[in-house]
A and B are shown apart, each in its own frame.
Chain A
Amino acid sequence: MNQNRLHIASRKGLFTYTRDAAGWRHSGTAFLGSPVALSLASADGRTVFAALNLGHFGTKLHRSDDGGTTWTELEPPKYPKVEGADEKEKAPALAGIWSMAWTGTPGGLWCGTAPGALFRSDDNGATWQINDALWDHPARKACARRSCPRICSSIR
């Protein structure tokens, strides 16, 4: 863990603070004006993820490989495609990213999303696969009906 750098995700951007002998100082701003739901930094501080929740344009995922100086937009996790007009109408689409964590293997990440699903990447966030065991679990549908609207609204 880099004890001397702090990334603060806020509704108006991602703000980075760095600590030196004089104390904490503001050292960077990214996505100014955009709601940043969360950020996740690697132990060495070089890799940083930022999940954005843009009101009109959806949930976006960005990665920095230089500690937050420059950013590249990634394809965010995608829900399984549903065919058929009626089914498609209520089919799930990414509504928010509310948790990210390292799996502990190189380039490995977990991503918790709304509506309730868990995705995994093994290539540093370039591609994502849904966790089928949880997605297909019979309890998920009942759970989603009860609690998902609340979770979705709390992360927006």
Chain B
Amino acid sequence: MPLGISIPARMARVTFTAHLARIAPTEPVIAPGATVADVLRDVFARYPALRGYILDDQDRLRLHIAVFVDGVHVRRDPLGYPLNAESDLYVMQALSGGQDA
């Protein structure tokens, strides 16, 4: 019998760089998952061609791809990064250079 409370599923909103418009969703998509890897796995199931553009042969995040979660650039173990109930994810190209880089 249901207890009358429900644990909200963690749903992230994912936005991909416009440079991937040919193979990625062009609008933000909603995907479930407790970590960045979970959420990306769900998106890749819907957009299979996208996978190889974001992950390498060993399923690591590509060296020059940056993941932002709730406004923060996740540099350390980005795929394992835990998400909130409604995290906002951006998957972009990593850029370097300039004086402060």
A binding-site residues for B, Cβ under 8 Å: 54-58, 60, 73, 75-76, 78-79, 81-82, 88, 91-94
Contact = CB atoms under 8 A, between A and B. Distances in A.
Nearest to A92: B57
Nearest to B65: A56
B82 interface: no
A51 to B, nearest CB: 14
A57 B90 CA distance: 15
Query: Which among A56, A78, A79, A81 has the highest number of chain B CB atoms within 10 Å?
Result: A56
Contacts of B94: 56
Query: Which among A54, A81, A93, A94 has the highest number of chain B CB atoms within 10 Å?
Result: A93
B58 A58 contact: no
B19 to A, nearest CB: 8
B62 A94 contact: no
A60 B62 CA distance: 14
Contacts of B62: 56-58
A56 B64 contact: yes
Given A56-B62, A56-B64, A93 B57 contact: yes
Interface stretch (B3-11, B32-40, B48-56, B68-76): B48-56
A65 to B, nearest CB: 18
Given A54-B53, A55-B64, A57-B65, 18 more contacts: A56-B64, A56-B65, A57-B20, A57-B53, A57-B62, A58-B52, A58-B53, A58-B56, A58-B62, A75-B52, A76-B52, A81-B58, A82-B58, A88-B58, A88-B60, A93-B58, A93-B60, A94-B57
A90 B57 CA distance: 12
Contact of A73 (B49, B60, B64): B49
Contacts of A57: 19-20, 53-54, 62, 65
Contacts of A88: 58, 60
Contacts of A94: 56-57
Contacts of A92: 57-58
A117 B54 CA distance: 23
B93 interface: yes
Contacts of A58: 52-53, 56, 62
